[in-house]
Amino acid sequence: MSTSEPSSAADVPWQHIFDQATAAMAIIDLQGRYLHVNDALCRMLGYRQDQLRGLDYREITHPDDVDPDGPTESAQPLEKRYIRSDGAVIWALVARTYIRGDDGEPLFHLSQIQDITQRRETELLWQRSFANAPIGMALVDLKGGWTAVNDTLCEMLGYSRDELLSMAFGDVTYEDDEEQGTNALDDLIAGLVDSVNIEKRYRHKKGHPIWVLIRATAVPGADGRPAFVVSQYEDIGERRLVDAHLAHLALHDPLTGLANRALLADRLEQGLYQIARGDGTLAVVLADLDQLKPTNDRYGHATGDQLLIAAAGELRKAVRAGDTVARLGGDEFVVVSVVADAEAAQSLCDRVEGHLNTEVFLDGEPFALQASVGHTATADPAATQESLLHEADRNMYRHKRFRRQDRH
């Protein structure tokens, strides 16, 4: 081995290690002048070594970040800005350590500098995007607590930032909607999904509900496991009102507000499913108004429409909550109900008939509401919707014929 080659790392001159280090470093005297700088620092700041040596580091420090008391040893690295030779400003993370003599007194500072401009720009972009987003945004910990919220979310919910940061999302969630939010967070934490979209109700500070679309994404930590959640909140109350209105129009008769044929078919299918589980008997009651055409001919269609609306109101009075009342069109109405047995189905038919054969007032004038009513009942889940409506219709026409015979 050549005698010029070092036998260990201890034999390598410190200047070689210092100069060839990939990390930017400098030795500064106690007054703040550069005594020695390495090439990595020169590349970072855009200066030659001879331009930096003897220069006070404060001369290339951003004016807002100058420490007037001079360099000191710090337990934690500090973030500051430097001005490069071309005038560009960079952010740096600076760690300073004293180099001490044998007596322990400080002789110089060793500064290690890391360019963090890209990281700071990314952080600033995130902070501004978060703070100024037109939708609510929040950081959520793995227990559902808000750890950061923007102004939009505060305004949406009516709480101050301090109030929200002392709460978890469950504190403002309606009880019926709490489970889906908790399940979504559990799925994110478990890594089953990377993001979720849910619609739920939050309670405004003043007490009223707010429908919110929430998009939540898990952010992994150093170990690759979810560390926290980024959530976005969009107030969709108006959209839900529009959607609910459109859905209502699609499934309800526009004149009476009763179910239309599409919704009736769905409710019949649900009824057959219920009786397949042994829940009872499916009753289908069909009614036909006897006086609609004469009313239209004598008083006009506007009065006929009022008669239909009055009939719909009487039908609602005759049924239980959860029963379906539908208008097939024209002067035909249908009631669908799951009842205990055939006797209960007959009782329902009798109630409907009683309410549709009564006196109603249209524009303050009394009108005789008259209808023929029939029904069918089944406990057979294999029955079809068509057969049930057909049997109820046949039963109704038998009653209609009897009524005519009685009048004659």
DSSP 304-354: HHHHHHHHHHHHHHHS-TT-EEEEEETTEEEEEEEESSHHHHHHHHHHHHH
331: annotated active-site residue: yes
Size (the chain), residues: 408
Catalytic residue among 331, 341, 380, 393: 331
3-state secondary structure 109-154: EEEEEEECHHHHHHHHHHHHHHHHCCCEEEEECCCCEEEEECHHHH
In the chain, the N- to C-terminal Cα span, in Å, equals 133
DSSP 61: B
Cα 24 from Cα 17, distance rounded (Å): 12
Token pair for 257: 């507000």
* Nearest CA among 372, 394, 187, 228 for reference residue 292: 372
For 68, other C-beta atoms within 10 Å of its C-beta total 5
Sign of the CA dihedral running 204, 207, 208, 211: positive
Catalytic residues: 331
